[in-house]
Amino acid sequence: MELLRLKHALFGLPPRPRRVRARRHRAAAALGGIAMSALLALLLAGTTMAVEPSASAGEPSPSAAEPSPSAGEQSASPSTRGSPASSPVTSPSVSPDESGDLPGQVLSPGEAAPPGFFPPAPVTEQGRDINNLYSIVFWIAAAIFIFVEALILWAVLRYRRLDDTLPAQTHGNRIAEFIWTLIPAVIVVFLFVASTTVIYRVEAKSENPDLTVDVYGFQWQWSFGYDCPQEFGSAGGFTRVEDCGLSFTGQGAQGPEMVLPVGQLVQIRLHGSDVNHAFYVPQFLYKKDVIPGQVNRFEVRVEQPGTYTGQCAEFCGLAHASMNFTVRAVPPSEYDAWKTQAEQEAEERENATPPPSPSGDGGDGETGATVEIAAENASAFTADQAEAPADQPFSIAFDNRDPSAPHNVSIRGATPEGDFVPPIADPGQQASYEVPPLAAGEYEFYCVVHPNMQGTLTVR
Amino acid sequence: MATTALTPRAIPYPRSRVYEWLTTTDHKKIGVLYITSSFIFFLLAGILALFIRSELALPGSQIFDPTSGLYNQVFTMHGTTMIFLFVMPMLTGFGNYIVPLQIGAADMAFPRINALSFWMIPLSGILLFSGFFLGGAAAAGWTSYAPLSAREVGPGQDLWIVGLILNGTSSILGGINFIATIFKLRAPGMTLMRMPLFVWNVLVTSLLLLFAVPVLTSALIMLFIDRNYGGGFFNPAAGGNAILWQHVFWFFGHPEVYIMILPAFGIISEVLPVFSRKPLFGYRAFVMATVAIGALGFGVWAHHMFTTGSVYLPFFAFTTFLISVPTGVKMFNWIATMWRGRLQFTTAMLFAVGFLATFLIGGLDGAFAAAAPVDFHLQDTYWVVSHLHYVLFGGSAFGVFAATYYWFPKIFGVRLDEGFGKIHFTLHFLGTQLAFFPMHLLGLDGMPRRIQDYSPAAGWQDMNVLSTIGAFMIAISILPFLWNVFISLRKPRDAGDDPWDAFTLEWATTSPPPPHNFDALPPIRSERPLFDLKYGELMGGHAGQHATPAEAAGYPTEADREAQSDPQGRADLPTNPTVADVEAGTTARSEAGGSGVIVVRPADSEAPGQPAAPATEAAPETPAAPETPATPETGEPKLVPPVTHAPGEGEVTSAADASRPSAEVTERVRRQARQKGTPPSDARPEEPR
Ligand code: HEM
Ligand SMILES: [Cu+2]
Ligand SMILES: [Cu+2]
């Protein structure tokens, strides 16, 4: 009985009335049909359009098979993830515009293709896992989408009202309903299993990563630290990235650059102290939140050398949109060279400029005039107007009362080379900056870490 | 028997209309107040959305000064307004108007609390928006994540907190009111499993409100303490926890998503059957799916927190996947409802079908977001903005417009113009796809949400331009709608009681209904009492299945019908056709509530369940006998032959057939009954008065 009704409900077609009366209904049906087909066409066109660029971007370039000569060298330390040498590492000599099909825009190998139906080509081992999972979900969803939209379209076109007879009053069918409960349930369980395997692979943490980089996110800038103290691994242990062997604090909307060795397992630890942020590199297909009071960590093994843009993904206030950074992945030998050089430069800088004097009560008045400027948060200086005497050196007593962000006071166009950019004062620190003589006029002063912090310095 | 024959002798006394509306406790007036005020907030928030889209169309700052933070205020207020001042009160408004009517009640259980709930809404709206004039509205997003929201300076965030506490109180009171109404005021015969699906959805929504909103309120109070009294709930430096807010907020926030979509599901479940001329396919499955969604909705909150690094991913991935099953069941049952129906594409139906087509995308998106690793990539990008608009705009807002076109004649006594309606729908549907689909692609490419600006080198401009064009298309689509409402309200209120030939009780009374709603109620033996009344239970009403013996015994007798044969009389006992009626080929009709509901039988049809074969030229058009003959003895719903409407209809140019006021059909049938024996094709209806 049920089966008969199922057949009746699903396959039996109502007899077609010969005379068509409801012209307006047809027009409406046609309208609905057109709208729906437009939607289908839009999506299908999008799919084909999108599949092509991302397919070509995903294909390894001719030289991809040949592993970078030095890729395996640095991986002496035990790793849970197999030897990096076996991972496909593209040599950096891939021609930059290979995957670029946007006129006038040069794309480096891993750089973002134009928006399509698939994520950007992944450049990390973990990203590949995520990308594969995405593809599985995408094709299943696409199949369901086309199937269901086709059913709707069919119903709209086939069963539009042609006469006023009452159709059979079918109240339901247990078998049919059971089937369309069961099939989604099976699909869903399959997807769950697939996702869980990927969760465990992507979220795995090794005891001994090849490299650990600490990230400090604050309103609205990033600092990256290499060779950081061991205690940074625990929630209360983090102090400041300046305590690390090597550290970089971003400047301006461009933010800092993180250099990573290709093929090595890198653990990234995320620290915050003001509000939530998120460390997001689209080409890693991965983001993780930066949350005050806890250390979040994740691991990546970058497989493709290149420069990848990253951005804060968790809304964090005024200048959230300009909280950028870049990740540059280079072969390990290049990484070592970079690091030695960066350490040298840091040392030179340390010797060249005395660290901002933590002078207790801001400025001794020896050089003449003192301008007092303070910051309490990263939105603005406490005052956006300041005055200084013309044509004589003066000092700025800067009081950084902000508990979480470093700041400084830079002056645009104050030196022949460009801006006057003194060292950055850590959270809670005071600094005294000696400014060379300035001609009378109005100057813009700003924080080099936070371009949104601005003021006017009137020199007369 | 189902009788609500109250005829209150209200003594009218003069009152100004403004005073009347300000002090009303009539659920219908309050419903209209809810609906209009929400619509105004929809327009406001829509204008904010246009600002957002204009800003984002091109890289660089078009409208907002990036150092002012105004953009952040605008998207925060857009999201907050759309959710708390548009979707929620709008659906509550329809619930207010329709639920008591659909269950045959005279009003809500607590009419004064009902009025109180309503008046809190505009007040909370004023508080929220006043921030713009008091130095900056809230700017931490509609989710207002702490610690950011605890640190933002200025009055905007505090106004936001107070406004939402007020708004939430209104929701809680409203929820209690609905629960009491639905459990206590149903008409005799209206068992739980005979309630219209809209009522079921409002019931589950109210339960969700009752459990979820107090959690939000507590979070808001904690935040208020943190901001103003030196608390440290969300400040790790003071021993608090920075993600506590997210747990508490999403424990409210995810059920909130279902609070916003379930009533829309209910609306679609009302509109599709009526314009398919079939009962809802799988009523029980719908009820179970609704309840399951409501229950599971409390177990998925942390899927909004996959990237926080502090939730157990597999568990929340699993529950999230799981909740898609009942939603999928609904989708298939809706399509099965249309299957083999006689679909009539009124604007309401177009919006309902548009809902299916669009919501499907929002639903499938859920599978991506539930796969936690994929969510690592998608979380907090424009992909999420796309997903939430496919659900809230393609879902809830389409539902709201379907409801508007569907119930407008009941509320105002006049139908909205179909021509303008179709223009509205076409622009609205295409605009929605154009505005929101490109956001999927932008998000996949890595464009974060809540950013005022993006780099020209990112390659995001083209899609953003498309999206902005779509947004303006949606905005333009509202103009024909507004014009439509305007001209329709100036037309004569001639829609009649039952313009759609619908199934549920709200159509059994006048349009608009009298203050007490019903003079009399038809018997309720299925979830489609009015259908049963008009087409007879033998035509597929499953009263036979569910009727209690008492009810079965309570069928109207010959005497009952005799008693109400006075055409002007207001019958206490409306009637269903008896087998004898049908055999005799007579037409039973009820004057109940002046609704003119009728049972149509061809004058010369044969025994019940046998193919109707009128001996007229219309005969060739009559569909052949069904494969399955009726089997009265099993008591199963029968697959009966399609009933021919009043014979002679073939001659009537059909354009407005089904939408013609039922009074006319009544008239036709009455005359036909009088002229029993004459060829039905001669029984031409006269034009309605
Ligand atoms: C006219 C149609 C609409 C357009 C063009 C539109 C556009 C947008 C855009 C572009 C955003 C992202 C803002 C950003 O992240 O920077 C947004 C956010 C949002 N929209 Fe809409 N929207 C529309 C209608 C709706 C409706 C009807 C609802 C709800 C029912 C809604 C709810 C939201 C919510 C909750 C957010 C998130 C706000 C936040 O991030 O705090 N929108 N909308
Ligand atoms: Cu941010
Ligand atoms: Cu700064």
pLDDT per residue over B470-497, tens digit each? 999 999 999 999 999 999 999 999 888 9
Band of residue A111 on the pLDDT scale cut at 50, 70, 90: very low
Band of residue A150 on the pLDDT scale cut at 50, 70, 90: very high
- Indicate yes or no: CB of A291 within 8 angstroms of CB of B308: yes
Same domain, B55 and B87: yes
Chain B residue numbers with beta carbons less than 8 Å from the beta carbon of A176 are 336
Band of residue B6 on the pLDDT scale cut at 50, 70, 90: low
Q: How many domains does chain B have?
A: 3
Half-sphere exposure of B393 (CA within 13 A, CB side): 26
- Indicate yes or no: CB of A166 within 8 angstroms of CB of B374: no
Please state, in angstroms and rounded to a whole number, the distance separating the CA atoms of residues B219 and B183: 30
Chain B residue numbers with beta carbons less than 8 Å from the beta carbon of A319 are 66
Q: At B334, which CATH number? A: 1.20.210.10
Task: Please tell me the predicted confidence (pLDDT) of residue A1.
Answer: 44
CA of B470, closest atom in ligand 1: 5
| Residue B246, pLDDT above cutoff 60 | yes
Return all residues near B247 (Cβ < 8 A) that are at least 6 apart.
B301, B302, B305
Task: Please tell me the predicted confidence (pLDDT) of residue B214.
Answer: 96
- Indicate yes or no: CB of B621 within 8 angstroms of CB of A286: no
Please state, in angstroms and rounded to a whole number, the distance separating the CA atoms of residues B577 and B673: 14
Task: Please tell me the predicted confidence (pLDDT) of residue A38.
Answer: 59
Check residues B301 and B660 and name the one with the higher pLDDT.
B301
Estimate to the nearest angstrom the gap between the alpha carbon of B651 and the chain centroid.
36
* Residue B503 forms part of a structural domain: no
Average pLDDT on A251-270 reads 92
- DSSP code, position B397: I
Closest CA to B685 of B659, B658, B651, B642: B651
Average pLDDT on A341-362 reads 69
Task: Please tell me the predicted confidence (pLDDT) of residue B622.
Answer: 36
Average pLDDT on A116-121 reads 92
Buried b (16+ CB within 10 A) or exposed e, A295-312: bbbbbbbbbbbbbbbbbb
Chain A residue numbers with beta carbons less than 8 Å from the beta carbon of B626 are 8, 168
Same domain, B59 and B122: yes
Give residue-wise pLDDT tens across range B273-303: 999 999 999 999 999 999 999 999 999 999 9
Do B460 and B447 meet the contact criterion of CB atoms below 8 Å apart? yes
Residues of B labelled as active-site residues: 78, 107, 142, 170-171, 254, 256, 258, 269, 303-304, 327, 330, 449
* Residue B298 forms part of a structural domain: yes
* Binding-face residues of B in 266-325 toward A, CB within 8 A: 276-279, 281-285, 307-310, 313-314, 317-318, 321-322, 324-325
Closest CA to B138 of A102, A317, A254, A343: A317
pLDDT-wise least confident of B84-98, B349-363, B570-584: B570-584
Average pLDDT on A398-411 reads 86
Band of residue B404 on the pLDDT scale cut at 50, 70, 90: very high
Please state, in angstroms and rounded to a whole number, the distance separating the CA atoms of residues B103 and B192: 10
Average pLDDT on B549-556 reads 39
Does the CA dihedral A407-A409-A415-A419 come out positive or negative?
positive
Domain boundary among B536, B551, B574: B574
* Residue B509 forms part of a structural domain: no
Rg value, chain B, Cα: 27
Strand partners, A308: A327
Place of tokens 């991506």: B368
Same domain, B173 and B293: yes
| Residue B643, pLDDT above cutoff 60 | no
| Residue B2, pLDDT above cutoff 80 | no
Task: Please tell me the predicted confidence (pLDDT) of residue B107.
Answer: 93
Closest CA to B460 of A430, A373, A115: A115
3-state secondary structure A80-114: CCCCHHHCCCCCCCCCCCCCCCCCCCCCCCCCCCC
Whether residue A428 lies within 8 A of chain B, CB to CB, comes out as: no
pLDDT-wise least confident of A353-362, B29-38, B431-440, B449-458: A353-362
Give residue-wise pLDDT tens across range B135-146: 889 999 999 998
Secondary structure class of B186 (helix, strand, coil): coil
Band of residue B10 on the pLDDT scale cut at 50, 70, 90: low
Task: Please tell me the predicted confidence (pLDDT) of residue B139.
Answer: 92
| Residue B316, pLDDT above cutoff 50 | yes
Calculate how far, in angstroms, residue B53's C-alpha sits from the geometric centre of ligand 1. Answer: 10
pLDDT-wise least confident of A198-207, A374-383, B248-257, B277-286: A374-383
Closest CA to B445 of A89, A312, A71, A118: A118
Average pLDDT on A184-196 reads 94
Band of residue A241 on the pLDDT scale cut at 50, 70, 90: confident
Task: Please tell me the predicted confidence (pLDDT) of residue A420.
Answer: 86
Please state, in angstroms and rounded to a whole number, the distance separating the CA atoms of residues B259 and B341: 30
Task: Please tell me the predicted confidence (pLDDT) of residue B302.
Answer: 92
Task: Please tell me the predicted confidence (pLDDT) of residue A435.
Answer: 87
Same domain, B478 and B615: no
The span from the first CA to the last CA of chain B, in angstroms, equals 34
pLDDT-wise least confident of A298-307, B23-32, B618-627: B618-627
Task: Please tell me the predicted confidence (pLDDT) of residue B676.
Answer: 37
Same domain, B540 and B594: no
Q: Which percentage of chain B shows pLDDT scores above 70?
A: 76
Calculate how far, in angstroms, residue B244's C-alpha sits from the geometric centre of ligand 3. Answer: 28
Same domain, B279 and B367: yes
Ligand 1 touching residue B448 (CB < 6 A): no
Average pLDDT on A301-312 reads 94
Chain A residue numbers with beta carbons less than 8 Å from the beta carbon of B247 are none
Same domain, B249 and B383: yes
Buried b (16+ CB within 10 A) or exposed e, A375-413: bebbbbbeeeebebeeeeebbbbbbbebebbbbbbbbee
Give residue-wise pLDDT tens across range A354-377: 555 444 444 444 557 888 888 888
Task: Please tell me the predicted confidence (pLDDT) of residue B198.
Answer: 96
Band of residue B256 on the pLDDT scale cut at 50, 70, 90: very high
Task: Please tell me the predicted confidence (pLDDT) of residue A32.
Answer: 55
Same domain, B613 and B675: yes
- Indicate yes or no: CB of B535 within 8 angstroms of CB of A166: yes
Same domain, B239 and B354: yes
Range of the domain at B452: 27-489
Task: Please tell me the predicted confidence (pLDDT) of residue B552.
Answer: 39
Ligand 1 touching residue B264 (CB < 6 A): no
Q: How far is B17 from chain A (nearest CA, A)?
A: 40
* Binding-face residues of B in 400-429 toward A, CB within 8 A: 422, 425-426, 429
Please state, in angstroms and rounded to a whole number, the distance separating the CA atoms of residues A113 and B125: 43
Task: Please tell me the predicted confidence (pLDDT) of residue A43.
Answer: 52
Strand order in the sheet with A394-400: A370-375, A394-400, A430-435
How many residues are listed for chain B in this entry? 689
Task: Please tell me the predicted confidence (pLDDT) of residue B534.
Answer: 86
* Residue B498 forms part of a structural domain: no
Q: Whose CA is nearest to atom 15 of ligand 1?
A: B450
Average pLDDT on A228-248 reads 85
Model pTM score? 0.79
Band of residue A425 on the pLDDT scale cut at 50, 70, 90: confident
Same domain, B203 and B249: yes
Count of CB pairs separated by less than 8 Å, A with B: 401
Q: Who among A32, A198, A285 is closest to B345 (CB)?
A: A32
Task: Please tell me the predicted confidence (pLDDT) of residue B9.
Answer: 62
Task: Please tell me the predicted confidence (pLDDT) of residue B184.
Answer: 94
Chain B residue numbers with beta carbons less than 8 Å from the beta carbon of A202 are 373, 376
Give residue-wise pLDDT tens across range A51-100: 433 333 333 333 333 333 333 333 333 322 222 333 333 333 333 333 33
CA of B392, closest atom in ligand 1: 30
* Residue B644 forms part of a structural domain: yes
Buried b (16+ CB within 10 A) or exposed e, A248-267: bbbbebebbebbbbbbbbbb
* Residue B635 forms part of a structural domain: yes
Estimate to the nearest angstrom the gap between the alpha carbon of A307 and the chain centroid.
13
| Residue B561, pLDDT above cutoff 70 | no
Average pLDDT on A131-149 reads 95
Mean pLDDT of chain B: 80
Ligand nearest to the CA of B51: 1
pLDDT-wise least confident of A56-70, A207-221, A257-271: A56-70
Where do the domains of chain A lie, and which CATH numbers do they carry?
211-351 (2.60.40.420), 370-459 (2.60.40.420)
Give residue-wise pLDDT tens across range B518-539: 998 999 988 899 998 888 755 5
| Residue B576, pLDDT above cutoff 50 | no
Give residue-wise pLDDT tens across range B497-523: 999 999 999 999 998 999 999 998 999
Band of residue B593 on the pLDDT scale cut at 50, 70, 90: very low
Give residue-wise pLDDT tens across range B46-102: 999 999 999 999 998 888 988 888 999 999 999 999 999 999 999 999 999 999 999
Ligand 1 touching residue B396 (CB < 6 A): yes
* DSSP state string for B336-380: HHHTTS-B---HHHHHHHHHHHHHHHHHHHHHHHHSHHHHHHHTT
pLDDT-wise least confident of A417-421, B182-186, B441-445, B590-594: B590-594
Q: Which of A167-181, B561-575, B595-609 has the highest mean pLDDT?
A: A167-181
Band of residue B663 on the pLDDT scale cut at 50, 70, 90: very low
Task: Please tell me the predicted confidence (pLDDT) of residue A34.
Answer: 56
- Indicate yes or no: CB of A140 within 8 angstroms of CB of B367: yes
| Residue B600, pLDDT above cutoff 70 | no
Average pLDDT on A298-317 reads 94
Same domain, B206 and B178: yes
Band of residue A170 on the pLDDT scale cut at 50, 70, 90: confident
* Residue B508 forms part of a structural domain: no
Band of residue A172 on the pLDDT scale cut at 50, 70, 90: confident
Mean pLDDT of chain A: 76
* Binding-face residues of A in 154-173 toward B, CB within 8 A: 155-156, 159-173
Place of tokens 């055409």: B567
* Residue B87 forms part of a structural domain: yes
Whether residue B350 lies within 8 A of chain A, CB to CB, comes out as: yes
Longest dimension (CA), chain A: 105
Please state, in angstroms and rounded to a whole number, the distance separating the CA atoms of residues A228 and A225: 6
Same domain, B430 and B483: yes
| Residue A33, pLDDT above cutoff 60 | no
